[in-house]
Amino acid sequence: MNNYIARKKFVNLIKEENQEIDYKNLYLLKHHIMESCRIIPNRISGVSAQQQRRLTESIKLARFLALLPYTDQQQQR
Amino acid sequence: MQEIKLQHYEIVFLINPDKSANVQDIIQRYESLVKEGGGVMHRLENWGNRPLAYPIKNLSRAIYILMNIECGKKTLDEVFNSFRYSNEIIRNLILRRDFAITEPSNMIEKQERMEETSGVVTAESSTEINE
């Protein structure tokens, strides 16, 4: 699916800006989720497997704390 | 006298903004809980009244508190029980850490960065108590 679309350049914030992978680091986490609030796979983002695992864990923690949404379909009342 | 093995924990909890008359009282309760158990509070942050990404218990905002403590298991159990039976605290997260963290977290720095760039002073002031 995604292989047929030309790859956009994805900036690796962890390497270049030395961002820490932490559930509190929303600047980094928001960079790794799509508009639909799904986690970007590392074959698109180019992040290493170990970093992707830690990112996924942090995103899921941030979602639990309502710092990030689970989906864009949820509406605030 | 048994030696209490102290371990480091990072705790984030969310307070219902309508029900909490005084956030300081709640924070003091936990500070004294930790001290009585012979623990140390390394970092305490109040991220203020933040909007939630999705409604929790029909609320759209909540007060976030971050604590980094070093305490024994019994004290942690007391803290966790108080979260469970509290009416004001709607969500909590307890993480094990290997060492004490005392630097201000990203959330406080981000607010300061946003204030600088936008030039608008936010009404909520982020309080930071380091012990």
pLDDT digits (tens, 9 = 90+) for A10-44: 888 888 888 889 999 999 999 999 989 999 999 99
Whether the CB-CB separation of B99 and B43 falls below 8 Å is answered with: no
Count of other CB atoms within 10 angstroms of residue B95: 12
**pLDDT value, residue B57:** 92
B107: nearest CB among A24, A63, A77? A24
What residues does B91 pair with on adjacent strands? B14
Calpha distance B110→B113 (Å, rounded): 5
pTM of the entire structure?
A: 0.80
B35 vs B115, residue with greater confidence: B35
Tell whether A46 is within 8 A of chain B (Cβ).
no
**pLDDT-based confidence at residue B68 (cuts at 50, 70, 90):** very high
- Top mean-pLDDT range of A52-56, B19-23, B118-122: A52-56
**pLDDT value, residue B9:** 94
B60: nearest CB among A24, A25, A77? A77
- ipTM exceeding cut-off 0.85 for this assembly: no
Q: Mean per-residue pLDDT for B122-130?
A: 42
Whether the CB-CB separation of A70 and A63 falls below 8 Å is answered with: yes
Calpha distance A26→A21 (Å, rounded): 9
- Look at residue B52 and tell me whether its pLDDT is greater than 70: yes
Contact A65 B55 (CB under 8 A): no
**pLDDT-based confidence at residue B115 (cuts at 50, 70, 90):** low
**pLDDT-based confidence at residue B126 (cuts at 50, 70, 90):** very low
- Look at residue B127 and tell me whether its pLDDT is greater than 80: no
